Amino acid sequence: MLQALARVPDPRDAGGRIHPLPGLPAIAIAAVVSRSSRVAEIVEWAADLPDAAWDRLGATREAFTVARRVPDDSTLSRVLTGIDAGALDTAVCRWLLSRAVLTGAGRRVIAVDGKTLRGSGPTGTQVHLLTALNQAGGGRVGEVG
């Protein structure tokens, strides 16, 4: 999905970018699928991601403290409201369709679901999953955790 989201134009000034664009909408998509609906909830959900997920999202670290730089509410809100909605929609739809299989009716149908696995670890180490299922054959198309 990050490769698909990399095609979305970044509305921010190149000099002020701390967080790579593909990672920010990816966080928002996964958090919303996991039932977060407000920007503050998305940021809270993202703060609990394990280091491996942040590394895949291209997150940076503070130079002196080496602490992970997590986007705040205003950053995420500014990026999500400034992004080209059509380009984002196209990128996500292309990614989903690339993983779908034609049904008997000639349609591509997939279901997307996300969740945080309860009891999978203390805050900050919990497992977060985003799964896409092929409705034609019932098989899992992909899962990111």
pTM of the model: 0.65
Buried b (16+ CB within 10 A) or exposed e, 117-132: eeeeeeeeebebbbbb
The predicted-structure confidence for 52-107, as pLDDT tens digits, reads as follows 888 888 877 777 887 778 888 888 888 888 888 888 888 887 887 777 655 556 66
The predicted-structure confidence for 13-53, as pLDDT tens digits, reads as follows 877 777 888 888 888 888 888 888 888 998 898 888 888 88
Is a pLDDT exceeding 70 seen at residue 127?
no
Q: Which of 26, 3, 18 is nearest to 83 (CA)?
A: 26
Helices (H) and strands (E) counted in the chain, each on its own, are 6, 3
Beta strands in the chain (DSSP E): 110-116, 128-134, 140-144
Residue 35 has phi, psi (to 5 degrees) of 80, 20
